Amino acid sequence: MATATHHLSEYDPTSVPSGAGRRFALVVSEWNLAITDALRHGAKETLMKHGVAEQDITEVWVPGSFELASGAQFLLEKGGLHGVVCLGSVVRGETPHFDFVCQGATQGIMAVGLKFSVPVIFGLLTDDTMEQAQDRSGGKHGNKGVDCAVAALKMAALKG
C-alpha cells in the first residue's frame, strides 16, 4: 500500500511554490459526501496555506466521480485557471460498476488535463472499504486532498 510509506498530509512546505496570484478549482463528487467534503477541506486549506486567495478558489460539486472530468472541462472552457483538483471517492461493491467508474474517471481526468494543457489533478480515492476511504480523507493515512493541492501548486508552477 502506497500510504504505508507516505502519509498523505505530510510534505516539506519549503518544496511547495507559492500559489499567490494563481486561480484553482476544486471539482468535488457529491457521492460519499463525508469523504469528499473532507478531501475538499484539506485541498482548500492547503491551497490557502500556500498563498492562494480564497476568492481565487472555485468550488463546484458534481453528482459522482464519473462526472469529475466533465466538471473540470466545463470550468477549463471558461479559462483563467492555473489548475483543477478533482476529488472523489469510489468504494468497491459487489458489481463491476466500481471498475467502470474508476477507469472512466481516470481516463477522463487525464484527457481533460492534456486537452487544455492545464494541470488537472487526480484526487479520486478508489478503496475496497469505507474504512480505507476514511483513512485517506483525514484519518490515519492523512488527507489525499492535501496531497492533491500540493501537486496542483507544483504543476502550476512547472507550467509557468
Q: 23 by DSSP, 3-state: which?
A: coil
> Which residue is it, cell 487525464?
110
Q: Which among 6, 7, 41, 97 is annotated as catalytic? A: 97
Distance CA 70, CA 72 (A): 5
82 noted as active-site residue: no
* φ, ψ (nearest 5 deg) of residue 95: -120, 170
* φ, ψ (nearest 5 deg) of residue 11: -160, 165
Amino acid code (one letter) for 135: D
Residues that are catalytic: 97
